[in-house]
Amino acid sequence: MARMTFVGGVHPYDGKELSKAKRIRDYEPVGDMVYPLSQHIGAPAKALVKKGDRVLVGQMIAEAGGFVSAPICSTVSGTVKAIEKHRVVTGEEKESIIIENDGLFEEIDWPEVPDFESLTREDKIKMIADAGIIGMGGAGFPTSVKLQPKEPDKIDYIIVNCAECEPYLTSDYRKMLEEPEKLIGGLKVSLSLFDNARGILAIEDNKPDCIEKLKKMTADEPKITVKALKTKYPQGSERHLIYATTGRAINSKMLPADAGCIVNNVDTVIAIYNAVIEGRPLMYRIVTVTGDAINNPCNFRVRIGTNYSELIEAAGGFSKKPEKIISGGPMMGFAIFDLDVPITKASSALLCLSKDEVSSSEPSACINCGRCVEACPGRVVPKLLAELADRHDEENFVRLNGLECCECGSCSYVCPAKRQLTHSIKSMRKIALSHKKK
């Protein structure tokens, strides 16, 4: 039985009112563009260009480096300046193609788009793969791989993750309001790949306007239903979304396909539409630039590869000195110390906060209050796992389901002692997972 929610979770301040009402604005970059070869899960893409080459908008500049990989195309016209390491949002330096933007945005001659009805399943998947589409909710798993499960007949739900449960983010919200036909179109393309699948648009009930609009638009679509979810973080977590909409629960070792589901994020579904119906590769991303330290919070349509610092200026600059700048939402985003990093396919927001709640609250002793246990959507005991992690007790950490943590941050959020539970657990998970792979 579907419950439209899950057990656990938290209700942080959502901050969406800052940018909710702002229409999506196009932002055209002026500076150099940076394309990390690894913006997705899997093998890095292989560069197809070299220093000095002239490239055009839409030209593939790196091809997939394996089955689980994704190509990258240029989003500006200009000259390849270098292929070298460049900093990305996580703080690491990754091999990237750097293109000097000539500001002309000269496009390639787009190939003709074949008639949709004439396309086979393989054609469509190839178009999606060539467009470089990956899961744009943050994980970055190549979508073409996701759309080729072992047993396609057993897929009975394609769920579009329209929850947008991260506080402050409004990019999915704006897209649902401004491009609903593309969203529904993309879902129909996805449904055409699976004979037995029905589509679900799963939206948190704090977006009643989207729910109403999409319900109206899908009224004559027998295969598509709009489902209102209870507003609660992390409702958009893949496994919890599947549970909320279908009542099927999978653990971290299983794939959504094991529950007969495929879950795609709003942006990903729109990218599928653009690729198959309009013949355009993945070039844009909607990015919410927001936070109390930003003068004019905005939702931008940004060319992938644009430098973050350009977006801050485009949003009117800082209204006060930011203490913390986050790529993504406040619950799962990455704090960045350097704005000279590119927007990638998986970027969703740039959040500038004038106060850092983490550094202003010193961790103190655990009082065993159990709030982390109540909040944990993974149904583990975060305070115990964090203790084991701090003691490097990997064996017991794994035994007590430490790997089932989805790193959503709910435990650290609720902890009255302000302990960095998620941080400890995350670090240990990384170690344990790397040992498991060997």
Partner 1 sequence: MNNDLMNVSSNPHVRSKTGTQSIMLLVVIALLPAFGFGVYNFGIKALILVAVTVCSSVLTEFIYEVLMKKKVTVSDLSAVVTGLLLGLNLPPNAPWWIGLIGGVFAILVVKMLFGGLGQNFMNPALGARCFLVISYTSIMTNFDCDAYSGPTPLAALKAGESVDIMNMITGHIGGTIGETSMIAIVLGACLLLLTGVIDLRIPGTYIVSFAIFVMIFGGHGFDPAYLSAHLAGGGLMLGAFFMATDYVTRPVTKKGQYIYGLFLGIMTGIFRLFGPSAEGVSYAIILGNLLVPLIEKFTYPKAFGMGGEHI
Judged by phi (left if over 0) then psi (alpha if -120 to 50, else beta), residue 105 lies in left
Q: How far is the CB of 193 from partner 1 (least distance, A)?
A: 26
For residue 299, what are the β-bridge partners?
Answer: 24, 288
Q: Which of 202, 194, 133, 123 has its CA nearest to residue 162?
A: 202
- Which of the ranges 28-36, 52-60, 110-118, 416-424 carries the binding residues for partner 1, by CB under 8 A? 416-424
Residue 385: phi and psi, rounded to 5, are -60, -40
User: Is position 90 an interface residue for partner 1 (rule: CB under 8 A)?
Assistant: no
Cβ closer to partner 1: 227 or 240?
240
- Region near partner 1 per CB under 8 A, out of 51-59, 69-77, 193-201, 325-333: 325-333
Q: Pick one of 21, 367, 431, 433: the residue that binds partner 1 (CB under 8 A).
A: 367
Q: Which of 207, 239, 280, 345 binds partner 1 (CB under 8 A)?
A: 239
Minimum CB separation from partner 1 for residue 133, in Å?
A: 25
Selected binder of partner 1 within 262, 283, 414, 428 (CB under 8 A): 414
Structure tokens, 322: 């930011």
Nearer to partner 1, 143 or 422 (CB): 422
- The region of 10-18, 186-194, 224-232, 282-290 touching partner 1 under the rule CB under 8 A is 10-18
Does 316 contact partner 1 by CB under 8 A? no
Tokens standing for 77? Answer: 């016209």
Give least dist CB 169 to partner 1, A.
13
Q: How far apart are CA 146 and CA 126, in angstroms?
A: 13
Q: Convert residues 293-312 into a mask of x (bound to partner 1 by CB under 8 A) and - (unbound).
A: ----------------x---
Query: Can residue 381 be called a binding residue for partner 1 (CB under 8 A)?
Result: yes
386: Cβ–Cβ under 8 A, 6 or more apart, which residues? 411, 419, 420, 421, 424, 425
Q: Which of residues 266-285 bind partner 1 (CB under 8 A)?
A: none
Please identify which residue in the block is written with the tokens 């599928």: 272
Sheet holding 24-27, edge to edge: 24-27, 298-303, 284-290, 349-353, 324-327, 334-336
Q: Name the residue nearer to partner 1 (CB basis): 86 or 188.
A: 86
Residues 6+ apart with CB under 8 A from 234: 9, 165, 240, 331, 332, 377, 406, 408, 410
In the complex, least distance from residue 10 CB atom to partner 1, rounded to whole angstroms: 7
Task: State which of residues 319, 366, 390, 393 lies at the interface with partner 1 (CB under 8 A).
Answer: 366
Distances (CA, A) of 326 to 56, 96, 308, 331, 402: 31, 21, 11, 10, 26
Give the number of residues in contact with partner 1, rule: CB under 8 A.
73
DSSP letter for 203, please: E
CB-wise, 179 or 238, nearer to partner 1?
238
Footprint of partner 1 on residues 115-174 (CB under 8 A)? 167
Binding of partner 1 at residue 335 (CB under 8 A)?
A: yes
Query: Nearer Cβ to partner 1, position 127 or 353?
Result: 353
Q: Is 332 an interacting residue with respect to partner 1 (CB under 8 A)? A: yes
Residue 70 or residue 169: which is nearer to partner 1 going by CB?
A: 169
**What residues contact 357, with CB distance under 8 A and at least 6 apart?**
none
Among 416, 430, 431, 433, binds partner 1 (CB under 8 A): 416
Q: Across-strand partners of 301? A: 26, 286
Cite the beta strand spans of 224-272 per DSSP E: 224-229, 261-265
| Rounded Cα–Cα distance for residues 183 and 198 (Å) | 15
Closest to partner 1 by CB, 49 or 331: 331
CB of 140 to partner 1, least distance (A): 16
Piece in contact with partner 1 (CB under 8 A), picked from 28-36, 264-272, 342-350, 354-362: 354-362
CA distance 136 to 143: 9
User: According to CB under 8 A, which residues from 384 to 413 bind partner 1?
Assistant: 384, 400-401, 404, 407, 409-410, 412-413
What residues from 192 to 231 belong to the interface with partner 1 (CB under 8 A)?
none
**Is residue 324 close enough to count as binding partner 1 by CB under 8 A?**
yes
Structure tokens at 296: 């004019």
Residues 290-305 as b/e (b if ≥16 CB within 10 A, e otherwise) read: bbbbbeebbbbbbbbb
Instruction: Give residues 242-261 in contact with partner 1 (rule: CB under 8 A).
Output: 243, 249-252, 254
Q: Any idea what DSSP says for residue 154?
A: G
DSSP letters for 140-154 = --BHHHHT--S-GGG
Q: Is 433 left (phi over 0), alpha (psi -120 to 50) or beta?
A: alpha
Does 417 contact partner 1 by CB under 8 A? yes
Q: Which is nearer to partner 1, 193 or 415 (CB)?
A: 415
Host H or E run for residue 429: helix 421-437
